[in-house]
Amino acid sequence: MTESETAEWVRRLWKSGKNFYKTYAWVSFRARVMQKKKNRCEVCWNGGIDGKQVRKYRRATTLHHKKHLKDHPELALTESNMEAVCEDCHKLRHPEIYAKETRQKERWD
């Protein structure tokens, strides 16, 4: 598929309410890329966010789109746009999503 065909396919999935991340194309692509990247978090392996920490191995749980899928659907299956990250590093990449999960409701007892 060309980039424009991929972008159109991803947009159609989005509009129909189907999850791109459950498609065979994504699942097989993710498995292949994660294997190439040795299932290790690239951020932790390269010294963390600031690059000053000691290089350490952490298992990657997510294949992260560097340029977000919503904004760049043409890069949905482009390996150069992917980064294998652990859960903690993924949370740092998406504070807008994970901040909502950690907020607690105010209690008025």
SS (H, E, C) the chain: CCHHHHHHHHHHHHHHCCCHHHCHHHHHHHHHHHHHCCCECHHHHCCCCCCCCCCCCCECCEEEECCCCCCCHHHCCCHHHEEEECHHHHHHHCHHHHHHHHCCCCCCC
**Hey, which residues does 86 pair with through a beta bridge?**
none
Predicted confidence (pLDDT) per residue in 54-85, tens digit: 678 899 999 999 998 889 999 999 999 999 99
Rounded to a whole number of angstroms, the CA Rg of the chain reads: 16
Q: Would you place residue 31 in the very low, low, confident or very high pLDDT band (cuts 50, 70, 90)? A: very high
